[in-house]
Structure 1
Amino acid sequence: MAMFVHLTASANAARIRRSGVRAVSHGRDADRSRGLYCFPVLPSYTLTHQWLRELSRRSGSRGLVAVHLRLPDDEPVTVGRYHQEPRHVTAAEAVRRIGALDDPRGWEVFVPRSAAKGEVHSVRPVRQVIGWRYFPDAHGTVPCTCAGCRVRGEYGSRRLRERRPHPLDGPPPATAVLLRQIAAAGTPGDPEQLTRTLDWFGLRRRGPVDQLAHLADHPDREVRRALVWAVARWTTPGTADLLQRLAGDGDEAVREAAAWNLSERS
């Protein structure tokens, strides 16, 4: 049996002891299956729990706990470094590969299913100051303050933005202004101008779905892909229908982006 550690919010501890670990995360492979992320238990306590500080940025005020899981050696999993294409292997092979690395920081194992109560070996408290933040060796690197990298309400984030303001900081232009920019781009529209404008729409929670839907037929795939990410978080009625339409796009990248965002909404 292979031993892994899964880090999760302390608030989930009681439920995990009662019924196991839910499959709520999405894998990085093509089918985007639901499951859970974990890491092999190595001789080094620090390496075993290396993801803790990065995950703690979004875990809530009570911190994280370490859930130790025992999985069959032949359990199908994927293994790889974050933001890289993972490899399909068995649990035992994932442990072997990561254990043989000179620097296993940033590596992860994905189990494409939930973990049953009987597979939970223990739920333990863990020191909350272990591991790296943002990415391995980030210390000494100038932090990025864009909307995608920063975490709202994170300790020190306001002072960081004041010290290193980002060009996209501040409220986005009004919807009427952005729609005039869309119209000024022409027909079918300049891709670069449309993409810039759609980036601003992506900072909003709601927007004019009906007035942007025609861009789903734009001949440039980057515009269609930008449209996916512009409306991805919107709660406006009709957003899911637009994403469903884009999920049938002729370009693979557009289809994958739309399908992933649809799955996040379910």
Structure 2
Amino acid sequence: MTLFVHLTAAKKVRSVRRAGIRARSRNHDGLPGVFCLPILPSYQLTHQWARELKRGGRRTVMVAVDFRVPDDEPVFVGYFSGGHERLPSAEAAALIAGCEDPRGYEVFIPRAITAKEVHRVRGVNQVTGWRYMPNAHGRFPCPCPGCVPRGQYGGAKIRQAAEVRGY
């Protein structure tokens, strides 16, 4: 059984313990399921999505839900902005663990996670991870309306700096 972690809002803890994790997210093909990562030796790499999820609008306290899936269950694995390939869960975990830089990788399980599969629910450090994308430090953020919507904190400054730079 492969151990994965899913990050969610702390207000959903009772629901997760009672009914598991619902398949609310959609992958690039529109399939419903659950995004997660395998538990890795590095805490920061295991919980790398926490900061990016908070930046994307989740303002509540996050928790980590650890759960197990069978080793031979097919999942989708890949870099967040690239294509995903279908592999057994054990191979997907080994692929991410074997990467030199696993930041930005994700696993997508195309089904809901039952309450019996949940191993534990625990608190998670709220400032762990990257923002925008891995290795974004020192790079100017994209000023397009899709990346920096109107009303976003600091958005006007980013758009103004882009005009000065000629973007």
After TM superposition, the structure 1 = structure 2 runs for residues 25-36 of structure 1, keeping only pairs within 5 Å, are 25-28=25-28, 30=29, 32-36=30-34
Select 2:109's aligned residue among 95, 102, 111: 111
**1:51 aligned residue:** 49
Distance 2:14 2:4 in 1: 19
Q: Deviations over 1:161-215 (max 9, x none)?
A: 444459xxxxxxxxxxxxxxxxxxxxxxxxxxxxxxxxxxxxxxxxxxxxxxxxx
Alignment of 1:174-193 (within 5 A): none
How far off is 1:59 after superposition?
4.2
> Which residue does 1:3 correspond to in 2?
3
Give the aligned partner of residue 73 of structure 2.
Answer: 75
Tell me, what secondary structure is at the counterpart of 2:142? coil
Residue 125 in structure 1 maps to residue 123 in structure 2: yes
Question: Aligned to 1:38, what secondary structure does the other structure show?
Answer: strand
Q: Map 1:154-173 to 2 at 5 A.
A: 154-164=152-162
TM-score, normalized by length of structure 2? 0.89
Structure with higher strand content: 2
Letter of the 1:63 counterpart: V
* C-alpha spacing 1:63/1:155, structure 2 compared with 1 (3 Å): farther
Residue in 1 aligned with 2:96?
A: 98
TM-score (norm 1): 0.58
User: Letter of the aligned partner of 1:66 in structure 2?
Assistant: A
CA RMSD of aligned residues (A): 1.8
Deviation track 1:20-71 (CA, whole Å, cap 9, x = no partner) reads 101011122x4x2110100010000000011111111134332321111111
Provide the secondary structure at the position in 1 that maps to 2:13. helix
Shift of 1:11: 2.4
User: Which is bigger in relative contact order (C-alpha 8 A, separation at least 6)?
Assistant: 2
Query: Deviation of residue 111 (structure 1)?
Result: 0.1
Distance 1:152 1:42, change over 3 A: farther
Counterpart residue identity of residue 37, structure 1: F
Distance 2:163 2:122 in 1: 40
CA contact (8 A) 1:8 1:59 kept: no
User: Could you tell me how far apart the structure 2 residues matched to 1:19 and 1:43 are?
Assistant: 28
Q: Percent identity?
A: 49
Paired residue type of 1:22? R
Write the distance in 2 (CA, Å) between the matches of 1:6 and 1:152.
30
Q: Which residue of 2 aligns with 1:200?
A: none
Distance between the aligned counterparts of 1:91 and 1:83, measured in 2?
20
Point out the more displaced range, 13-22 or 113-122.
13-22
The runs of 5 or more residues in structure 2 that have no matched partner are: none
d(CA) in 1 for partners of 2:11 and 2:130? 23
User: How many Å separate the matches in 2 of 1:36 and 1:66?
Assistant: 13
Per the alignment, residue 19 of structure 1 pairs with 19
Change (3 A) 1:24 1:83: same
SS at match of 2:134: coil
